[in-house]
Homo-oligomer: A and B are copies of this chain.
Amino acid sequence: MDERTLSRLLDDVAAGRASVDEALEGLRDLPYESVPGARVDHHRELRTGQPEAVYGPGKTPAQVADVARALASRSAGAVLVTRAAPEQAEAVLEAVPGARYDERSGLVLVKRAGAGAPPGEVAVVSAGTSDQPVAEEAALTIEASGCAALRIGDVGVAGVHRVLEHRGDFERVDCVVVVAGMEGALPSVIAGLTSTPVVAVPTSVGYGASFEGLAALLGMLSSCAPGVAVVNIDNGFGAAQVALRIVRALRRAEA
């Protein structure tokens, strides 16, 4: 029941064409019925402020391309395909002009937010070279929303001086995304150095008992530095979304 229907119903009541009881009956189940915007996916962007994203795994290349094309034609903002396999990426690149593919992170950017001053800056710190695909997924997602991403790489806790050098950056940016595998200790060290919000991303990098990122995940959740927010293993996209929620709130606060 959309606004037009509702309006017509009220007109009928006003005009005496419908009794109050009849109108009441028609309205009773309204909370459960079709709400304007529910069926049209790009309303979601307005509702939560996030660009549309398509999760690649388990879909055929054609399915991914179709959804991407549909979203790109309707959306004002960016459209992303995450964890895209090469053949999915190829299908999207054919279907949507201007799409780009970052093979190591598996991210397809179907559309990039326009020019203008970036609304904020997020630092994306990675502990080792092997963590970079996940960090890149985060950085590209952040940039796709028109926000700046400051990439800081190869900053492991076993050489703690490199971390200390970047203390000024951590304080300056709006949010710090920290990507680390193995023991996942980097967010604890960084959160101990700065009051900026810290989002931790465990990666599946590591020998046997890292158990595909479980060690890093549990370590980050158990951080002795208070105020570390954690997302799923290898989920650079999700970390970027957390950071972007904060950036948007900051810009609203300034406005």
A101 to chain B, nearest CB (A): 16
- A158→B238 contact, CB < 8 A: no
Q: Is A75 in contact with chain B by the CB < 8 A criterion?
A: no
Residues of B within 8 A of A219 (CB): 183-185, 215-216, 218-219
Which of A91-99, A110-118, A161-169 forms contacts with chain B?
A161-169
A24 to chain B, nearest CB (A): 6
- A159→B38 contact, CB < 8 A: yes
Number of copies: 8
Tell me the complex Cα distance, A39–B152, Å: 13
Residues of B within 8 A of A30 (CB): 27, 30-31
Tell me the complex Cα distance, A20–B197, Å: 35
Q: Which of B32, B206, B222 contacts A215 (CB 8 A)?
A: B222
A122 to chain B, nearest CB (A): 12
Given known pairs A209-B217, A222-B206, A226-B241, the reply for A191 and B48 (CB within 8 Å) is: yes
- Chain A window 143-166, contacts with chain B (Cβ cutoff 8 Å), 1 for yes, 0 for no: 000000000000011111111110
Q: Which of B211, B232, B254 contacts A207 (CB 8 A)?
A: B232
- Chain A window 171-209, contacts with chain B (Cβ cutoff 8 Å), 1 for yes, 0 for no: 000110000011111001101111111110010111111
Q: Which of B33, B193, B220, B242 contacts A47 (CB 8 A)?
A: B193
Q: Which of B14, B132, B165, B220 contacts A34 (CB 8 A)?
A: B165
Given known pairs A11-B20, A130-B58, the reply for A249 and B53 (CB within 8 Å) is: no
Considering only CB atoms, which chain B residue lies closest to A250 in the complex? Answer: B253
Considering only CB atoms, which chain B residue lies closest to A174 in the complex? Answer: B249
Residues of B within 8 A of A38 (CB): 31, 159, 161-162, 164-165
Interface residue ranges, A against B (CB under 8 Å): 1, 3, 6-7, 10-11, 13-14, 16, 19-20, 23-24, 27-39, 41, 44, 47-50, 53, 55, 57-60, 63, 67, 104, 127-133, 156-165, 167-168, 174-175, 181-185, 188-189, 191-199, 202, 204-235, 237-238, 241-242, 244-246, 248-251, 253-254
| CB pairs A–B below 8 angstroms (22 shown) | A14-B20, A32-B168, A32-B193, A38-B161, A44-B192, A47-B194, A50-B195, A157-B185, A158-B188, A160-B189, A181-B222, A185-B188, A197-B249, A208-B217, A209-B213, A209-B221, A226-B241, A227-B245, A228-B231, A229-B230, A229-B231, A250-B250
The 4 A-B pairs at the shortest CB distance, nearest first, are namely: A208-B233, A185-B185, A58-B130, A38-B161
